[in-house]
A and B are shown apart, each in its own frame.
Chain A
């Protein structure tokens, strides 16, 4: 038998049910892996006791014949999810020491399905970043290294970089992520794992620290498509506590998995062929198109004419909402309070927010405040909303002709830490392929599809119609089966 920590959700579930190992053994193995993985800085808080308690409950449930879908499976939880009794900071000093008295709906569902928690995963501060370098707890380091023999520490992607790094390093079998403009898909691509952002409204946002409310969606990150399907089933569902939650039933995605794409049409949007796209990415995309054909799909070139404006639109809408969502971190009720001698209320706000927020968060609050301010509102925010509607219309029209879209996930493989952090605009370009689906609220997934010349993972993205997660998962599965991605980082930590 292979190591328990090599297993994903389905492997653990099936092994546990088949009596190969106990849930306790699983929790012990992953707790040890977490403890041994500190060099990755993937965790902000480790919670071995939570994983053990869930494991013991799973072992008892098994004896009693009361197994639940995720019994025996320990997970990593991104630190954006409020967890009752466990510190939740969104990787920001401004929430330093904050311990919620409540549980997010998504984690409550996962724990209710039998899962345990290995710890709270590091991330870009308030989910703002593409490299994990904006965390107030130090950046996560990707377990991957370039094959050139250099030891450059690489970015695990962001903002769910703790999740991606921990899964790729096999210190967690799967983890929650959140995706506002690509924060599940881009880190998944950078680390050779799978991750799906479901349709906006599939997963409740209740108890998830808000970044940009109209874009934020939780989703699973895992080794493969099947694990994502299993976990997404457990995370999804209508929640009356979130007004934007969709009141629709949750399909049996795992049972519906099929890589046979006969009769399906796969769209290839020509606007995604951007300037300066590395040849390797383009080649991988062409390979992906071939795999889709091999799976029985018909390839159709489609046009999404407003793609070019998506990034600019996103960087107006998301900061605008963030500037308002983050106003509650004011030092009055919880988290950090910086109260200089003789300070009045305004001074306290200024000192608290200056000390509590990192530079990227401040930058986005300022951008958001600017685009919403009198005199600029129409030129920026109103226009961005109009363009957003056009982008959504592009997709609607494309989906009249095709079932799913195939694109690269990111314009490059993982870059070195520090390589792009000095130029925010270059960093923002990382989101160029992921942002359009976010603006349109569509389900989209990244699957590992190959390695670049330096031995680093590259991902392909499948985008689907609203609520057609099944189509997205199945398209991704077709790639997964043909890509045969088995590469994994050598253990150096």
Chain B
């Protein structure tokens, strides 16, 4: 239980939150037809006869979508139901050509599982928290109505009609907006690791329905409302906050919360009633007689398991353990599968033992590479520097060719030109020197020019050592090997 409370006029209120996430399954084809499931095509260009519900058309399940759902379930440590079934959810709407959505009410493909959200002290999550997942089922998406195409009519785009969705229903285990946000981030991370959903909320491939209720400490659960189709993590957190506060206001003013569907208005940061339970559709769910039950074999499950990648929690443990990464570095890198992939490619490309280079590599990635990407407004997938190029740079530092300062310079040039580090070092003569003769000559000049300070140092002002290092490095244009400089200076000043 988080410490998040709503301060009402009558005291503190706890908030109880459950989330239903609709995640679009990453798949070339739709759930029951061969039509393309890609986003952004011309309206009605990705529509098969089945998606348009022409007379006599029949759905045929897309095995790949089923596999994606099973793998997602496995990634949540969930019960996989070897026997599941599709049901029809009946209602009329112009974006629903069949007059029913094929979904799974009675026998979902995935049962209970868990998602562990990471500790985040700043957000009031002092330690990792297990959030229960009630179920995951597979269903069809609907089409889209377009109201801005004609003065008096609405148009229908069926490109999305029949696209596969996973509905992932959490238990009401969250008690603050921060926990809900962390749950969604973690869920998205898992989906992206598995490759079952791209988690892109802007394009609508992940949406959340937010169930919220409030209660006084120790009281039974209050009546909940469901705020539909919230399309960013930030808005989910905001919607919880305003809805919980609204509920407290209503109750404290002597009112009652009615079970209803609400809408979040992001412009005005408020929720509004869409329809109450009394107006709710009677969906007349029943098993779809066009489809046979899905029976999963042990072989199929084994295949799904074997295809699962290392998941964020396991990866993080490995990074902190075998690779010796600081906890912060490990958390930052595993949060996004693309970052983790980049990091692992970087480490591998150095050709050095992981335990030796990983920590340095993680530091460089988090500070230097992330800094550069932020500045350029690019994601790691579009990084102008490849893991191989990064590895070369790290190797040049490790073997003493480049100092830390020189490495930063070289990296900037890499970003600008796209050239490899080795070539830049060669072309521009940025190589660090360990030539003792050259360094000794410079040291002699520096000492001659600062005879007073030499005297002071020899008189006991040890701190001046840094001054001599700085002067020597400066005189050598930063290219001297700092270790060698230290060593020779100590001798010369002794």
Q: Which residue of B lies closest to A350 (CB)?
A: B92
Instruction: Closest A residue to B291 by CB, please name it.
Output: A243
Q: Which residues of B contact A333 (CB under 8 A)?
A: 52-54, 97
Q: Which residues of A contact B282 (CB under 8 A)?
A: 373-374
> Bound complex: CA of A101 vs CA of B53, how far in Å?
13
**A69 to B117 Cα, complex, angstroms:** 66
User: Measured between alpha carbons, how far is A324 from B282 in the docked complex, in Å?
Assistant: 13
Shortest Cβ distance from B86 into A: residue = A243
A84 to B55, CA, bound (A): 12
Within the complex, the shortest CB–CB distance from B214 to chain A, in Å, comes to 28
Closest residue of A by beta carbon distance from B60:
A243
Rounded to whole angstroms, the CA-CA distance of A369 and B154 in the bound complex is 28
Q: Mark interface residues in B113-151 (1 if CB within 8 Å of A CB, else 0).
A: 000000000000000000000000000000000000000
Query: Which residue in A98, A102, A330 is a CB contact (below 8 Å) of B49?
Result: A102
Q: Is A332's CB under 8 angstroms from B60's CB?
A: no
* A271 part of interface (Cβ distance < 8 Å): no
Please pick, from B56, B61, B284, the residue contacting A324 in the complex, using a CB distance under 8 A: B284
> Which of chain B's residues has its CB closest to A369's CB?
B284
Nearest B residue (CB) for A326: B99
> Which chain B residue has the least Cβ–Cβ distance from A320?
B286
User: Is the pair B56, A207 in contact by a Cβ cutoff of 8 Å?
Assistant: yes
Residue of chain A at shortest CB distance from B59: A243
Contacts of B94 in A (CB 8 A): 330, 332, 345
**Complex contacts, A207 vs chain B, CB 8 Å:** 56-57
Interface contact A212-B60, CB-CB below 8 Å: no
Indicate if the CB atoms of A243 and B99 lie closer than 8 Å.
no
B88 is an interface residue with CB less than 8 A from chain A = yes
Inter-subunit contact A244/B292 (CB<8 Å): yes
Shortest CB-to-CB span from B34 to chain A, Å, is 10
Chain B 93-118 per-residue mask, 1 if CB under 8 angstroms from chain A, else 0: 11001111000000000000000000
Whether the Cβ atoms of A102 and B284 lie closer than 8 Å is no
**A332:B98 contact, CB within 8 angstroms:** no
Contact of A327 among B56, B99, B286 (CB under 8 A): B99
Q: Contact between A324 and B100 (Cβ–Cβ < 8 Å)?
A: yes
Is B290 at the interface (CB under 8 A from chain A)? Answer: yes
Asked if B257 lies at the interface with its beta carbon under 8 angstroms from chain A, I say no
Within 8 A of A (CB), among B233-290: 282, 284-286, 289-290
Residue in contact with A328 in the complex, picked from B53, B156, B286, CB distance below 8 Å: B53
Does A243 contact B54, Cβ atoms closer than 8 Å? no
B284 in contact with A208 (CB, 8 Å) = no
Question: Any chain A CB within 8 A of the CB of B90?
Answer: yes
Q: Which residues in chain A, 157-178, are within 8 Å of chain B measured between CB atoms?
A: none
Verify B98–A102 contact, CB threshold 8 A: no
State which residues 69-124 of A face B: CB under 8 Å.
81-82, 88, 90, 95, 98, 100-102, 104
- Per-position binary interface string of chain A over residues 378-401, scored 1 when its CB falls under 8 Å from any chain B CB and 0 otherwise: 000100000000000000000000
User: B58 contacts which chain A residues (CB < 8 A)?
Assistant: 205-206, 241-243
**A16: B residues at CB distance < 8 A:** none
Task: Give the complex CA separation of A346 and B94 in angstroms.
Answer: 10
Evaluate contact between B286 and A372: CB separation under 8 angstroms: yes
Complex contact A212–B97 (CB within 8 A): no
Instruction: Specify which chain A residues have a CB less than 8 angstroms from the CB of B57 in the assembled complex.
Output: 206-207
Chain A: CB-nearest residue to B284:
A372
Q: How far is the CA of A373 from the CA of B286 in the complex (A)?
A: 10
Cβ of A330 and Cβ of B286 under 8 Å apart?
Answer: no
Q: Mark A205-221, 1 if CB is under 8 A from B, else 0.
A: 11111101110000000
Query: In the complex the two chains form, is B54's CB within 8 Å of A373's CB?
Result: no
A contact residues, range? 35 or more
Q: Does A428 contact B (CB under 8 A)?
A: no
Task: Find A240's partner among B55, B60, B285, B292 (CB 8 Å cutoff).
Answer: B60
Q: Are A244 and B290 in contact (CB under 8 A)?
A: yes
Q: What residues on B are CB-neighbors of A95 within 8 Å?
A: 55
Interface members, chain B 50-79 (any A CB < 8 Å):
52-61
Q: Which of B53, B54, B100 contacts A100 (CB 8 A)?
A: B54
Q: Within 8 Å of chain B (Cβ to Cβ): is A349?
A: yes
User: How distant is the Cα of A307 from the Cα of B284 in the complex, in angstroms?
Assistant: 28
In the assembled complex, A21 has its CB within 8 A of some CB on chain B: no
A205 to B53 CA separation, bound complex (whole angstroms): 14
Question: Does A377 have its Cβ within 8 Å of any Cβ on chain B?
Answer: yes
Shortest distance in angstroms between A105's beta carbon and chain B's nearest beta carbon?
Answer: 9
Which residues of chain B have C-beta atoms less than 8 A from A242's C-beta? 58, 60
A181 to B49, CA, bound (A): 28
Q: Residues of A contacting B291 with CB < 8 Å?
A: 243-244
List the B side residues contacting A323 at CB < 8 Å. Answer: 90, 284
A212/B61 in contact, CB under 8 A: no
Chain A residues whose CB sits within 8 angstroms of the CB of B54 once the complex forms? 100, 102, 333-334
CA distance A88 to B57 in the complex (A): 14
Does A179 interact with chain B (Cβ within 8 Å)?
no
Contact B90 A324 (CB under 8 A): yes
Q: Which residue of A lies closest to B287 (CB)?
A: A385
A321 within 8 A of B: yes
Q: Enumerate chain B residues within 8 angstroms of A321, measured Cβ to Cβ.
A: 289
Report which of A210, A244, A369, A374 forms a contact with B56, defined as CB distance below 8 A. A210
The distance from the CB of A106 to the nearest CB of chain B, in whole angstroms, is 10
CB distance from B159 to the nearest CB of A (A): 14
Most buried by B among A90, A240, A324: A324
Query: Shortest beta-carbon distance, A126 to chain B, in Å?
Result: 10
Q: How far is the CB of A207 from chain B (nearest CB, A)?
A: 4
Contact of B99 (CB < 8 Å), options: A213, A330, A346 = A330
> Which residue of A has the minimal Cβ distance to B49?
A102
Chain B residues with Cβ below 8 Å from A324 are 88, 90, 99-100, 284, 286
Contacts of B49 in A (CB 8 A): 101-102
Across the interface, name the chain B residue whose C-beta is closest to A212. B289
B156 contacts A332, CB within 8 Å? yes
Q: Which of B61, B92, B286 contacts A377 (CB 8 A)?
A: B286
Whole-angstrom distance between the alpha carbons of A208 and B61 in the complex?
19
| Distance, CA A247 to CA B224, complexed state (A) | 48
**Distance in Å: Cβ of B61 to nearest Cβ of chain A:** 7
Q: Write out the residue numbers on chain B whose beta carbons fall within 8 Å of the beta carbon of A373.
A: 282, 284
Which residue of B is nearest A80, CB measured? B56
With a cutoff of 8 Å between Cβ atoms, the chain B residues found around residue A345 in the complex are: 93-94, 154
Tell me how far the C-beta of B19 lies from the nearest C-beta in chain A, rounded to whole angstroms: 25
Q: Which residues of B contact A82 (CB under 8 A)?
A: 55-56
Cβ distance A199 to chain B, nearest Cβ, rounded Å: 15
Residues of A within 8 A of B100 (CB): 324, 327
* Interface of chain A residues 393 through 417 with chain B (CB within 8 A): none
A374 and B105 alpha carbons, distance in the complex (Å): 14
Q: Which residues of chain A (223-272) have a CB below 8 Å from chain B?
A: 240-244
CA distance A241 to B61 in the complex (A): 10
A327–B292 contact, CB under 8 A? Answer: no
A301 to chain B, nearest CB (A): 34
CB distance from A486 to the nearest CB of B (A): 38
Q: How far is the CA of A486 from the CA of B282 in the complex (A)?
A: 55
The CA of A374 and the CA of B91, in the complex, are separated in Å by: 14
Interface bits B147-179 vs A (CB < 8 Å: 1, else 0): 000000010100000000000000000000000
A212 to B94, CA, bound (A): 23
Name the residue among B56, B90, B285, B289 with the largest chain A CB count within 10 angstroms: B56
Minimal beta-carbon separation of A465 from chain B (angstroms): 21
Do A88 and B55 have beta carbons less than 8 Å apart?
yes
What chain B residues lie within 8 Å of A377 (beta carbons)?
284, 286
Could you tell me the distance between the alpha carbons of A241 and B248 in the complex, rounded to whole angstroms? 54
Give bound CA distance, A241 to B323, whole Å.
51
A333 to B56, CA, bound (A): 14
Contact call A209/B286, Cβ cutoff below 8 A: no
Q: List 30 A-B contacts (CB under 8 A).
A: A82-B55, A90-B55, A100-B55, A101-B49, A102-B54, A104-B56, A206-B58, A207-B56, A207-B57, A208-B56, A210-B55, A213-B289, A242-B60, A243-B60, A243-B61, A243-B290, A243-B291, A244-B292, A320-B286, A321-B289, A323-B90, A324-B286, A330-B99, A332-B94, A332-B97, A332-B156, A333-B97, A345-B94, A369-B284, A372-B286
Q: Knowing that A101-B49, A373-B284 are A-B contacts, what are 11 other residue pairs whose CB atoms are under 8 Å apart, sorted by A's residue number? A: A100-B54, A205-B56, A206-B57, A207-B57, A208-B56, A209-B56, A212-B289, A326-B99, A327-B99, A369-B284, A381-B286
